[in-house]
Structure 1
Amino acid sequence: MTILRSTFDPRSDAAAANRTAMLERLAELDDLLETFNGGGGEKYVARHRKRGKLLPRERIALLLDRDSPFLELQPFMAHHTDFSTGASLVSGIGVVEGVVCFVSANDPTIRGGASNPFSLRKALRGHEICVANRLPLISLVESGGADLPTQAEAFVPGGATFRNLSRLSSLGIPTISLVFGNSTAGGAYVPGMSDYTVFVEGRAKVFLGGPPLVKMATGEDSGDEELGGAEMHAKVSGLADYLAADEQDALRIGRDIVRSLNWRRLGPGPTLPPDEPLHDPEDLVAIASADPKVPFDTREVLGRILDGSRYDEFKPLYGTSLSTGWGAIHGHPVGVLANLQGILFSEEAQKAAQFIQLANQKDVPLVFLHNTTGFMVGKDYEQGGIIKDGAKMINAVSNSKVPHLGVIIGGSYGAANYAMSGRGYDPRFLFSWPNAQSSVMGPAQLAGVLSIVARQAAEGRGQAYDEEFDKNMRSMVEAQIEGEQTALANSGRGYDDGIIDPRDTRTVLGLALGVVHNNVVEGAEGFGVFRM
């Protein structure tokens, strides 16, 4: 297998400019994460601690095996909305008693842990991950139910959370709820639909309607404990399987439950030597261009994430703006599709379709490294069949059954985002670098298209075109798209599973590959009709 050589000079002026730009972006993200980790603010955190309670990330840390990693997912969900603090939910993947689990924790310092539309979007993504990768789900519950001011947007998708818990159980995937405080109204169904429940004595309160609602609905006077307290549910209703003395005891019991699951992964473990890359991963903060219009060599990225920098490139002389080939990450064999020069032509699409079929034939996961401006357009390319060739690649991606892992390391625009297994194509995991950009097309192109359409409409009406209006419109649209296409904006919408430090790419992909192999990894036995 070929060893990837590097021509990258980390001491060059371009590398220095790239490094500075990337580190500035990372510093901004770190500041945001620090804010998010503060929950609902000092006042509410202090009130929570005064009650003797742990914060969500503290609960997660005590639940997980000592010194094991936690891959937090979608921490920027709901950024630039009224629910900008991680959507009131901390979620991710960690190891409990040697078992890889998905862990979700309400943040009760933010509106009492109430679920808003973005919380639900984040929770439902977690359920998708559990089903696809066969991960036990552990819910650390303390929530006041639905965020009532946004109930119109939360009510319908909220029901899917309970359906999903039932479906996980029917698939034999364990669901465990550890209840630390309120779990009211619809939130009561989280423990209600779980396979195992642990309630903290004197703290957990689980009821469909609290005392005020019961009073309004029935005229009945009742207290929290008799209506939905932990001891009542342990002794009377039977909703609580275990009664914990305190939070630490609940987390201990949760670990005991996982230990007794007799859980086994179905996929193979690493099968190849997990040698470190030959080239320094520190360089990854300096490889991606500070100017998105300046291309960079994605093979330099591969040389810093693949085991031993080994890469067996497939069809290297054909369709040269897309590199396809075989390698491994942390001992797991992978097929790679990496954009090199940005544009996808017919040759690249044909090569990709064949390569994806081969990966499915070999039952090998695929890693997509996005840096593409889209499929090529123009008279010659349309006549040459760019649509039907692009359709071949999208067909192959759509019907591929092996796990897809993606990292947007630059741009990911238009239908090329789809062809590279973007979010709409259900990759098992999709991450972004801080410099990532993704939208229908670039800001200048989109503004230009709108300008041409408006100009033609004016000419069709026999009117003079207002050039000042055109200038202002272009400027406004470009500014809008610039803001909407950033990694942070897309991550806030839930269009990826998180923004990662480029230097962590190999580690994150290695963790993700370990996760997908909890389930059987099998390729597709057939594809749709390839238009020839």
Structure 2
Amino acid sequence: MPIIQSQISITSKEFLANKEAFQKRVEELHRRRGEVKLGGPEKARELHKKRNQMMVRDRIKPLCDPGSPFLELGMLVGLDLHNNELPSGGFITGVGLIHGRRCMILAHDATVKGGSYYALTAKKHVRAQMYAWKHRLPCITLVQSGGANLPEQPGIFPDDGQMGSIFYNQIMMSAEGIPQIAIVHGPSTAGGAYMPALCDEAVIVREQGYMYLGSPTLVEAATGEIVDAESLGGGEMHCKVSGVTDHLAENDSHAIAITRDIVERLGNKPEMRWQVAEAMPPRHDPAEIYGLINHDHRIPNDTHEILCRLIDDSNLQEFKPHYGDTLICGFARIMGFEIGILANKGVLFGESALKGAHFISLCCQRDIPLLFMADVSGFMVGREAEQTGIAKHGAKLISAMAAAKVPKYTVVIGGDYGAGYLAMCGRAFKPDALFNWPNARTALMGPDQAAMVLAGVRQGIYDREGNTWPEDEKEKYKQMVRDDFDAFANAYNFAAHLWSDDILDPVETREVLALHLDIAGRCPAEETRFPVFRF
């Protein structure tokens, strides 16, 4: 039995120092999650409650089956951006269980800028839709939106992937038989009105939910007609006159109950296509990972020790363990789900890349999902590496990874730089989900390397012009570059811009991955077709 044997002393000074430093990161993560879960400013929250409306997260909870998990995506979107006035992008997305059926729930937070759309809001909405489309999840949209935030026009209106794509995705998913259901919880204008209108079924709350392409104020300004909100776009009107909505609810709770009834009657639920074994805990406590992550981010982590605390029974059937050993490849289970793991243990050499490509092809043939655990400075450079074909071998790994049609997940557990980030299934290569641990750092290169490169370029300009660059000014410039790259690489920066789906506490990783695998396993398998490989 290929059990990973831990060689770490959990009472050593180094372990305890790492653990203390990482616990502070975890505490910060949970504190920041708590802050964004509050929603908009206190004044907006109080006004919302005064109108006898449920807060957005309080709407989601009863919509889901009691005691079931809500797999939230993009919770930290907008963090530290827009003066911190856009928590979660003003929009909550995630997968919940409704009458035993996995559904994508998309919900406006009306306490955040009236539920209006910023560029990040639209990006998050589209990201959630694409996840739902790929996994054929019914979409339940809890609508209460003022539509487009006009000053954000460049980021929400003209291009693919913005607000127009939200409507396109709704239409095309419906055409493919993926149910689209909406609840109109409050005033929903313009784009906010199109969303429920484009759904298969729509519920609206009496004397609370309103939907119109132009508000009463806009109608008066444009046409001179004076009209009240109820006759222009209220629940009674839309259910009895226009026919735009299908079900009239008395309040938020009633609307949620109606929606649960609709979901209950969506037909047969998709079946699991894989054999899932009984879940077994790792032989070592996952919380010990805190002491394994080096508090100096420039030092790589011991990936075997981390895997020992992440996979079922610490059991890893390693593939080619004596070849290309800077990339660990192996078969394991996470909460009973079989998975193929590619985990960095140093810089990527040609042999590592060949091994990774070979392993990916095995997983594709066997319909085994892939997990990329990224902690890599990139590919090896230098004359020997180039002469032995590092470019073509790296291309094989990237091509195999990109073409693989099995579910793919990426967890950045350390530094993830340059082409190494791309090869380990970075965001551009469309993993089903990408997560960072709180210590994760991702960039074109590390801060020190960037400072050296850019200072070298600038020094060359001084030399060509026959000028001298004073050492103190050079060091000041290099520190500015370090600071810029350091801020960019931060895991919170990636989460805020939705370049990752979330930051995970390492002890959450097993459960989160298992929830994603459970969703992926209920979709039909896809055939992988590999491109031409350069041999």
TM over 0.5: yes
The answer as to whether partners of 1:133 and 1:517 remain within 8 angstroms in 2 is no
The aligned counterpart of 1:95 is 97
User: Aligned partners of 2:96 and 2:8: how far apart in 1?
Assistant: 35
User: Aligned partners of 1:289 and 1:300: how far apart in 2?
Assistant: 12
Q: How does 1:56-455 map to 2 (within 5 A)?
A: 56-82=56-82, 83-156=85-158, 157-341=162-346, 343-455=347-459
The answer as to whether partners of 2:86 and 2:112 remain within 8 angstroms in 1 is no
The aligned counterpart of 2:481 is 477
Shift of 1:293: 1.8
User: Aligned partners of 1:418 and 1:531: how far apart in 2?
Assistant: 19
The aligned counterpart of 1:47 is 47
3-state SS, counterpart of residue 157 of structure 2: helix
Matched, 1:528 2:531: yes
3-state SS, counterpart of residue 143 of structure 1: coil
3-state SS, counterpart of residue 289 of structure 2: helix
**Change beyond 3 A, Cα 1:490–1:461:** same
Shift of 1:270: 4.2
User: Aligned partners of 1:180 and 1:432: how far apart in 2?
Assistant: 34
Moved more, 462-471 or 202-211: 462-471
Name the aligned partner's letter for residue 214 of structure 1.
Answer: V
The answer as to whether partners of 1:56 and 1:105 remain within 8 angstroms in 2 is yes
Name the aligned partner's letter for residue 534 of structure 2.
Answer: R
Q: How does 1:455-470 map to 2 (within 5 A)?
A: 455-470=459-474
Name the aligned partner's letter for residue 88 of structure 2.
Answer: G
What RMSD, in angstroms, separates the aligned Cα atoms of the two structures?
1.3
3-state SS, counterpart of residue 374 of structure 1: coil
Name the aligned partner's letter for residue 143 of structure 2.
Answer: V
Moved more, 62-71 or 5-14: 5-14
The answer as to whether partners of 1:135 and 1:518 remain within 8 angstroms in 2 is no
Name the aligned partner's letter for residue 113 of structure 2.
Answer: R
Q: Which runs of 5+ in 1 are unaligned?
A: none
User: Aligned partners of 1:306 and 1:270: how far apart in 2?
Assistant: 17
The answer as to whether partners of 1:323 and 1:340 remain within 8 angstroms in 2 is yes
Q: Which runs of 5+ in 2 are unaligned?
A: none
3-state SS, counterpart of residue 503 of structure 2: coil
Name the aligned partner's letter for residue 278 of structure 1.
Answer: R
The aligned counterpart of 1:5 is 5
Moved more, 297-306 or 181-190: 297-306
Shift of 1:173: 0.8
Q: Deviations over 1:216-258 (max 9, x none)?
A: 2111111101110011000011111111111101000111111
3-state SS, counterpart of residue 5 of structure 2: coil
Name the aligned partner's letter for residue 403 of structure 1.
Answer: P
3-state SS, counterpart of residue 185 of structure 2: strand
Moved more, 414-423 or 277-286: 277-286
User: Aligned partners of 1:330 and 1:367: how far apart in 2?
Assistant: 14
User: Aligned partners of 2:18 and 2:511: how far apart in 1?
Assistant: 22
The aligned counterpart of 2:491 is 487
Matched, 1:505 2:502: no
User: Aligned partners of 1:95 and 1:418: how far apart in 2?
Assistant: 33
Shift of 1:152: 3.0
Name the aligned partner's letter for residue 458 of structure 2.
Answer: A
The answer as to whether partners of 1:359 and 1:523 remain within 8 angstroms in 2 is no
Shift of 1:296: 2.1
The alignment's TM-score, normalised by the length of structure 1, stands at: 0.97
The aligned counterpart of 1:21 is 21
3-state SS, counterpart of residue 375 of structure 1: coil
The answer as to whether partners of 2:300 and 2:414 remain within 8 angstroms in 1 is no
The answer as to whether partners of 1:364 and 1:521 remain within 8 angstroms in 2 is no
Aligned residues: 530
Q: State the percentage of identical aligned residues.
A: 39
User: Aligned partners of 2:136 and 2:289: how far apart in 1?
Assistant: 32
Q: Deviations over 1:356-382 (max 9, x none)?
A: 111111111001101111111112212
User: Aligned partners of 2:499 and 2:243: how far apart in 1?
Assistant: 40
Shift of 1:426: 0.3
User: Aligned partners of 2:337 and 2:268: how far apart in 1?
Assistant: 21
Moved more, 51-60 or 27-36: 27-36
User: Aligned partners of 2:447 and 2:190: how far apart in 1?
Assistant: 45
User: Aligned partners of 2:282 and 2:393: how far apart in 1?
Assistant: 35
User: Aligned partners of 2:513 and 2:31: how far apart in 1?
Assistant: 24
Shift of 1:266: 4.9
3-state SS, counterpart of residue 291 of structure 1: coil
User: Aligned partners of 1:100 and 1:30: how far apart in 2?
Assistant: 26
Name the aligned partner's letter for residue 47 of structure 2.
Answer: R
The alignment's TM-score, normalised by the length of structure 2, stands at: 0.97
Moved more, 357-366 or 281-290: 281-290
User: Aligned partners of 2:180 and 2:295: how far apart in 1?
Assistant: 44
Name the aligned partner's letter for residue 531 of structure 2.
Answer: G
The answer as to whether partners of 2:40 and 2:86 remain within 8 angstroms in 1 is no
Shift of 1:523: 4.2
User: Aligned partners of 2:322 and 2:527: how far apart in 1?
Assistant: 27
Q: Deviations over 1:439-482 (max 9, x none)?
A: 00000001101111122233233333443332111010001111
Shift of 1:202: 0.9
User: Aligned partners of 1:8 and 1:66: how far apart in 2?
Assistant: 41
3-state SS, counterpart of residue 420 of structure 2: helix
The answer as to whether partners of 1:63 and 1:255 remain within 8 angstroms in 2 is yes
Moved more, 214-223 or 351-360: 214-223
3-state SS, counterpart of residue 493 of structure 2: helix
Name the aligned partner's letter for residue 102 of structure 1.
Answer: M
